Structure 1
């Protein structure tokens, strides 16, 4: 990974001192199923939660490789902490003037769900009225603004559809936390500290300047980070962090004094199978990380010169996520298998790492079946009827300029 000169510490240098605090809070993170306020404060102050905030708003506007390096490091410390760094980036589709007013008085920490269109939106003067309930809203307890994807409905109460493909038209908008009910109902197998419960809104007004009306990712800023969903690359970095943690934990366990009478513990780290497993794990981590860095670096350079990055790079951004998470999961499974029964003991780090990895790898964007979007592209890119799937969210959503009349003032 290339290192660019900066007039500030690199993010990884800023977050490394947080490790003792994060490790000391592991039991609280697990039991309370949300992030302690002091960790949220520290991640905001170090810049992790402002990494993608546009420079014109006072954000860091970082190179994504610098950010991914820090996401991996935080995920190595704790899977829940690293996961939230994917959501709380400071990125925004809200218009600049609205953002400046918000940032005068409060922090910009957002959470929500744009993968499921479980809201209903109606156009009204100056914006939209929205009702809905969205699940899996990681980071919602500490968010200052929340969002959810909604289907736009007309005055007759029927969903508005695109004349191009007949699909519903979607919007997403930011709503102040005071107007959102956050449900404390997250009780997952892993990533237990992410606060990934449901959120509900009932007939809440969203001003137009806080709404993404395009149906696809949109932006009002010069930053290349706003020209693709770079935040999704954190799936890969997060998984790498967990894989590194599992490998470290196995190595540490091999150095522990074996309990009296335990032949397996006495042999741990001395068997050929252990050597093979560690060698495979190291190779998988290194090669997966290089693939991720190559794709993201190319995508970012492309974003510097274009409003939307090349479709093929978007395909690769999706493909690398699926691949890296799959490789990382194999590493964690391998280390879990090699470490033996001690890996199953609740409260020990290997058990938590295993649960976090199994949970993270079940996300719809990175499950193995999501390779289909990349495969479809490589098989059909040279045909007249090219790929139709949006590789970032898995639904058909090309731009619809003919729908602009829906949003006329």
Structure 2
């Protein structure tokens, strides 16, 4: 049994950036028991536990994509992928929050250094969170008055700072401000979390521990220096690292796909243990001796490993482009979009197959299956897992203009 599990683990960790990822994967392995023990409580409370958050901050896992000058690690994205995947092997909600929090932390590279220092530099537990919604900013002396209603704000309960993406920005005369391309300006405004009113409405089936609640602010003053224009932030960034020239949509695409792959791998880990012991009613042999189960496990391993390899290859291609030219091509972005969507749904298919094969052993809340089953189905339904992304890529391959909003 140990040899089987060891081979499975090796197949799951084909390092994209061994030198960068290895010490961080050791940290995640050490945290694993803490995260798994905290997961049931997080599921009930609909937020990560204080113990889990303390361990994550001590390991600096919310600072992986934060610039060094703001107290972060500036981790290469192939290594980041591996860390998120490894976290998800233990708990999907934890991996999701760490991925989301790091994507938000990239904002430090687009803010002035003193502002980034004020948010992250003096607080080792600083976390920025945001979500979709409607927001408007009205220009006033020294900044903006922001009114926002945001939802799906993952990590909102442990965030120290929040942000609203203001799709409407009005000048002092009330006119909508346009960017150089003639489109309405979209400005992200960052403010202390205590200034927003949270609504606890994240009562969902899966990823319950993410605490993806909603917040509201009304005419909140945000200083100019705590805002960035999304259309120009990468071109005007002060940090030359290729991380901050990488499209955030692509980072979330690969990061949440890594979450799906990790959940599926954790499910398979647990299934391989169960298979050594489980003897279905009226059957004398454990299911590991059943030829049908053996076939299903092999096919599941092939699907999961192949989907992972495809995504890693797309990510590495995009990372090489970013390193060489400070941007990722349309081809590279489309490859990440397609590979990320594919990996998410292949991971869900693997979990579905093994859940069925696990029989009644898989349905108990105390078993290591049902939470992962719920989590993977929730991952597949969020924006990065939408099946419409297949159409987006297919249309582009057939000569239609690229949909830049989703790549």
TM-score (structure 2 length as normaliser):
0.87
Q: Contact 2:18/2:79 (CA < 8 Å) preserved in 1?
A: no
| Distance of 1:102 and 1:112 partners within structure 2 | 15
**Deviation sequence 1:40-74 (CA, Å, 0-9, x none):** 12212212210001123231111112121111111
- Pick the aligned partner of 2:78 from 41, 59, 65: 65
Higher helix fraction (1 or 2): 2
| Distance of 1:207 and 1:376 partners within structure 2 | 42
- Pick the aligned partner of 2:365 from 342, 346, 351: 346
Query: For residue 390 of structure 1, what is the aligned residue in structure 2?
Result: 405
**Deviation sequence 1:356-389 (CA, Å, 0-9, x none):** 00011001221111222212221226xxxx3343
Query: For residue 406 of structure 1, what is the aligned residue in structure 2?
Result: none
1:362 aligns with 2:396: no
In structure 2, relative to structure 1, the CA distance for the partners of 1:2 and 1:348 (3 Å cut) is closer
- Pick the aligned partner of 2:259 from 224, 238, 245: 238
1:223 aligns with 2:236: no
**Deviation sequence 1:246-278 (CA, Å, 0-9, x none):** 21222121122547xx12685523322211211
**Deviation sequence 1:69-125 (CA, Å, 0-9, x none):** 111111010111111111121322322221123334324311111xx3411111122
- Pick the aligned partner of 2:306 from 287, 296, 314: 287
| Distance of 2:349 and 2:138 partners within structure 1 | 46
- Pick the aligned partner of 2:97 from 63, 79, 84: 84
| Distance of 2:403 and 2:358 partners within structure 1 | 45
Secondary structure of residue in 2 paired with 1:99 = helix
| Distance of 1:273 and 1:258 partners within structure 2 | 14
1:74 aligns with 2:87: yes
Secondary structure of residue in 2 paired with 1:134 = strand
In structure 2, relative to structure 1, the CA distance for the partners of 1:388 and 1:72 (3 Å cut) is closer
1:9-88 matches, within 5 Å, as 10-88=23-101
In structure 2, relative to structure 1, the CA distance for the partners of 1:300 and 1:205 (3 Å cut) is same
Q: Contact 1:83/1:238 (CA < 8 Å) preserved in 2?
A: yes
1:253 aligns with 2:283: no
| Distance of 2:184 and 2:347 partners within structure 1 | 36
How far residue 158 of structure 1 moved from its aligned partner, in angstroms, is 5.7
Q: Contact 1:117/1:170 (CA < 8 Å) preserved in 2?
A: no
Q: Contact 1:239/1:325 (CA < 8 Å) preserved in 2?
A: yes
Q: How many residues align?
A: 382
**Deviation sequence 1:6-32 (CA, Å, 0-9, x none):** 6x9621111111111112212211111
Aligned CA RMSD, in angstroms, stands at 2.2
Greater alpha carbon shift after TM alignment, 269-278 vs 66-75: 269-278
**Deviation sequence 1:179-205 (CA, Å, 0-9, x none):** 122222211101111000101112112
Query: For residue 336 of structure 1, what is the aligned residue in structure 2?
Result: 355
| Distance of 1:357 and 1:20 partners within structure 2 | 20
- Pick the aligned partner of 1:127 from 143, 151, 154: 143
In structure 2, relative to structure 1, the CA distance for the partners of 1:71 and 1:158 (3 Å cut) is same
Query: For residue 220 of structure 2, what is the aligned residue in structure 1?
Result: 204
Secondary structure of residue in 2 paired with 1:390 = helix
| Distance of 1:346 and 1:42 partners within structure 2 | 25
| Distance of 2:298 and 2:345 partners within structure 1 | 17
- Pick the aligned partner of 1:105 from 122, 139, 142: 122
Secondary structure of residue in 1 paired with 2:288 = coil
How far residue 343 of structure 1 moved from its aligned partner, in angstroms, is 1.8
In structure 2, relative to structure 1, the CA distance for the partners of 1:88 and 1:163 (3 Å cut) is closer
| Distance of 1:389 and 1:105 partners within structure 2 | 36
List alignment gaps of at least 5 residues for structure 2: 1-14
How far residue 281 of structure 1 moved from its aligned partner, in angstroms, is 0.9
Query: For residue 399 of structure 1, what is the aligned residue in structure 2?
Result: none
Query: For residue 113 of structure 2, what is the aligned residue in structure 1?
Result: 96
In structure 2, relative to structure 1, the CA distance for the partners of 1:4 and 1:244 (3 Å cut) is closer
Q: Contact 1:122/1:152 (CA < 8 Å) preserved in 2?
A: yes
In structure 2, relative to structure 1, the CA distance for the partners of 1:216 and 1:76 (3 Å cut) is farther
Query: For residue 371 of structure 1, what is the aligned residue in structure 2?
Result: 390
Q: Contact 1:322/1:368 (CA < 8 Å) preserved in 2?
A: yes
TM-score (structure 1 length as normaliser):
0.87
Secondary structure of residue in 2 paired with 1:169 = coil
